[in-house]
Chains A and B, each alone.
Chain A
Amino acid sequence: MKADNILIISFVSLLTIGLIMVASSSIYIAENLTGDPFFFVSKHMLFLGIGIICLLIFLYIPSDFFLRTDWLFLLLSLTLLIALFIPNIGTEVNGSLRWIDIGFTNIQPSEVIKFSIILYIAGYCYRRNHEISTLRSFMKPLALLTVISLLIMSQPDLGTSAIIAALVIGMLFYAGISFFQFILLLIVVISLGVIAVVYTPYRFARYLAYLDPFHPDVVLGSGYQLSNSLISIGQGGWFGVGLGNSAQKNFFLPESYTDFIFAVTVEELGVIGGIFLICMFLMLFYGILRVGWFSMKKERLFQSYICFGVFLLISIQVLFHISVNIGLIPTKGLTLPFISYGGTSLLVLMSLLGIVFRINNENKLI
């Protein structure tokens, strides 16, 4: 099968499943919050539309353009991240500063930075390809990562920080940083993560809840999300209770249309449905990596790194989201790419896919 088809089939399948699952999982919550049961799915459709426009735009931008402008995107994203902390710009929800209200919708700077950091790290690795394993070349992206992580952690949003850290480290590792430095970095990051968990009471409580989410002490508190998520998956069984029939989305499972959409998907469509979803992601990964591989063959290192970055971002987030949903790791609110409701995330992902399609097209012409 041609890379195009593999990409298009998996990509369109994922977007379709996402649309259906957002509609299904948000229906009661939307009705309760706004009176319109289709409030979230309508907005999701709107973002899909805008996302397609973004995709088309990036399809027309030569990929080399980003080699010159990656710093600009980064600067813009960083500005947005910093702007969050300016009073009256950032919107605080549940004690977290994550959104900037731009009138008709909110944008989430920590999603935007994912886009820029892929371009920037890809460009950086390409530019420093011959000296990537030196300490000096290694320090610069590390300093950048530290700044970004600190900014995101201050929102606070440990999950996104972790993803971005994993993304940057993964890309650098792939591009060829020294193994010793990599291990060192890994130890530092993991230690910081452990410290962040142990010294923040609510995160530590979540960690304890992860060990036994049904323990009477936590089942209505820090274990509430995970226990309900597991109930969803247990209810679903192999074949699911049927689309639209989830009982858990009746306010039992919080964030059913964002952070726990995989659980609702398994409840309604079963393990079979969940595995089909995972297969669609694997197909997408294969498609993206194939584009990267062809780029490499055509000596287009920058483009190859971009593809690898996109693959890494999506795969990390997918694995992270599903692992949280099934209780493999402690609860951390993270959306499932292409599936969960979330405008900024969808636009960023579709834009990145747009770039991958563009690279694929360019590969054919060279």
Chain B
Amino acid sequence: MKKNNFFNWRFFVIIITIFFISFAIVWKLFDIQVTDKEFLENEGEKKYVTYKNIKPIRGTIYDKNGFPLAISTVSYDLYALKDYSKTKHKLLRDKLGLEIDFPSSGFDKKTLIKKNLDINQINSIKSLKHNKLEIERRYVRHYPLGEQIAPLIGFSGKDGIGQEGVEFIYDNSLSGKEGNEKYYKNAKQEIISKPIVLNIPEDGQDIYLTIDATIQFYAYKYLVESIKNNNAKGGSVVILNNKTSEVLAVASYPSYNPNSANRKIQRNRVFLDSYEPGSVLKPITISEAIHQGIYEIDTYLELPQKILINGKQISDIKKYEELSIAEIISNSSQVGASKIALDLGFDNIAKTYKKFGFSKPQSIGFPSESFGYINMRENISDHEIASLGFGYGITANPFQIAVAYSVFANEGMLHNFNLIKNDDLQFEPIRVISSDAAQAILNALNQVIEDGTGKLAKTKYKSGGKTGTAHKIRGNGYAKDLYISSFVGITPIDEKLLTIFVNIDEPDLNAYSGGDVAAPLFSKIAQNSLEYLEVSNEE
């Protein structure tokens, strides 16, 4: 007979079993929190948290007067998400005039369906309240001056990274710092929360260049015109403000449209093309000879038409009998320049060129700048020394030549030219030659235009400059029929405001000399720039 006791051993077996399981449950619950929480939280985050980067606005690049040279604008694109419905699409198509037809199989992934929405379109899309449509912000970089200045400014690519030129040099400060935000999504991958900003993006800094958009416009316009007229391959222009040490214009042709996705990058010849500039360098060595007192500017030298050095002939186009130092410059006498170079000696010449900033990188830091070299061969021959005197055996880029000429404008002082307005890195000017020597060279440069090789450089303003017609190198020697014609000058000669360098690469052989090709280009650019700058001409 069974005793009816509620709390019999069987009861306890069951209760203990249940307690044991309960204990196991609580233990497991704690164990999960202690051991696996981090792993589980991670697994969860992977499923329902999406992170998105917030792109900062790239800084604007302005010219010195606040005209934008590169500017980012916001653009909105419309995306269709997975399972976007056909009926909504019809509605949208009627409203926006969407080109895209609805794919027969529907959208199986996020697809761009309309670029560059305007504000009305954005509002009407929002009013549809369709959760399978997403509007995304995008920054678009615009270059208002386009190809006029593209080789200097460069561009920033799709990913917003500066690729060339100023965009590249100052990419760090222009690009700012990316922020990020997170969203929660559900298992259907739909975003179900408002964005939660984790890091606020830091917008890029704006940059003010020393470039003057108007002067740049003239520089590029006349450069292109001149290249077209001379059936040339290319050319470049540099304009410096001697007083403020600003680079006002850097033009290079051929150029490209930085606004186009299919842009074909062209190099910036001003910084990347170093070449043997020829006669435009003559005043550099001569100025040192005057500076050292080897000659006065009006010392006369007797000059044969031809001289033979190391068995190689150097000749002028005519026999001058005798020329003053100034006339050697204005007539661009090879024989004269050779004599002076030999008198000066190799060490002096090399030192001089270096003082003027040749064969070393310029402070602007243009990417892959080609800063040239000086022929420093051991046992250098007299012919090679003479060649250095008239600009061979040395290469330089246009920017270096312009900066070197600014020494004549700045009373013998070498200034550091900036591309960035109010650059903190102010260098003390360095004395290169005496101010008297500089003035003497300026006068000679004026003669070049008044009645020398550079007559076509004449403007309403009194200027000084120097022509150069250099043979290009082909194979192991010089090409007889390929030239780079240059002109570099200072204008107006009294105020010494601007240094302008121009060159034309491979002009037509009908007229190829610096005097015929480059001097007129200098004239047009100088005339227009000075008028724009409202410089008075009291001639």
Contact = CB atoms under 8 A, between A and B. Distances in A.
Interface of A: 28, 129-130, 132-133, 170, 173-174, 176, 214, 227, 230-235, 237-238, 247-248, 250-252, 266, 271, 274-275, 278, 282, 292-293, 296-297, 299, 301, 304, 312, 315, 319, 322-323, 326-328
Nearest to B189: A251
Contact of A328 (B24, B36, B37): B24
A248 B186 CA distance: 8
Interface of B: 1-2, 4-7, 10-11, 13-14, 18, 21-22, 24-26, 28-30, 32-33, 36-37, 39-41, 43-44, 47-48, 184-188, 192
A231 B6 contact: no
A327 B18 contact: no
A275 B4 contact: no
Contacts of B5: 296
B44 A234 contact: yes
A299 B4 contact: yes
23 contacts: A173-B10, A174-B14, A230-B40, A231-B44, A233-B29, A233-B32, A234-B40, A234-B44, A235-B40, A250-B184, A252-B186, A252-B187, A266-B29, A271-B29, A274-B29, A275-B29, A296-B4, A296-B5, A296-B6, A323-B21, A326-B28, A326-B29, A326-B32
Nearest to A32: B188
Contacts of A247: 44, 47-48, 184
In order of increasing CB-CB distance, the 3 nearest A-B pairs are A234-B40, A250-B186, A251-B187
Nearest to A315: B18
B40 A233 contact: yes
Given A297-B6, A301-B4, A304-B6, A251 B188 contact: yes
Contacts of B14: 170, 173-174, 312
A326 B187 CA distance: 21
A294 to B, nearest CB: 9
Interface on chain A toward B: helix, strand, loop, or mixed SS? helix
Contacts of B40: 230-231, 233-235
B185 to A, nearest CB: 8
Given A28-B186, A251-B186, A296-B5, A278 B47 contact: no
A266 B29 CA distance: 9
Contacts of A301: 4
A34 B184 CA distance: 23
A351 B491 CA distance: 107
A51 B200 CA distance: 54
Contacts of A328: 24-25, 28
Contact of B47 (A252, A296, A315): A252
B7 A293 contact: yes
A16 B139 CA distance: 52
A319 B186 contact: no
Contacts of B185: 250
Contacts of B30: 271
B2 A129 contact: yes
Contacts of A327: 28
A327 B24 CA distance: 11
Nearest to B32: A233
B34 to A, nearest CB: 10
A251 to B, nearest CB: 4
Contacts of B22: 278, 282, 319
Given A170-B14, A247-B47, A326-B29, 7 more contacts: A129-B2, A129-B4, A130-B2, A234-B36, A252-B187, A271-B29, A278-B22
Nearest to B192: A250
A61 B218 CA distance: 106
Contact of A238 (B2, B4, B25, B33): B33
A161 B339 CA distance: 116
B37 to A, nearest CB: 5
Contacts of A232: 44
Contacts of A271: 29-30, 33
Nearest to A301: B4
Contact of B10 (A176, A230, A282, A292): A176
Contact of B33 (A237, A293, A323): A237
- Most A C-beta atoms less than 10 A away, residue of B6, B10, B188: B6
Given A129-B2, A252-B187, A231 B43 contact: yes
- Most B C-beta atoms less than 10 A away, residue of A170, A278, A304, A326: A326
A60 B44 CA distance: 50
A327 B39 CA distance: 15
Nearest to A274: B29
Contacts of B10: 173-174, 176
A315 B185 CA distance: 37
A166 to B, nearest CB: 10
- Most B C-beta atoms less than 10 A away, residue of A233, A301, A327: A233
B391 to A, nearest CB: 71
Contact of A176 (B2, B6, B48, B192): B2
Given A234-B41, A247-B48, A132 B2 contact: yes
A314 B213 CA distance: 85
A327 B25 CA distance: 10
Nearest to B185: A250
Contacts of B26: 275, 278
Contacts of A233: 29, 32-33, 40
B180 to A, nearest CB: 19
B32 A230 contact: yes
B531 to A, nearest CB: 69
A24 to B, nearest CB: 15
Contacts of B28: 326-328
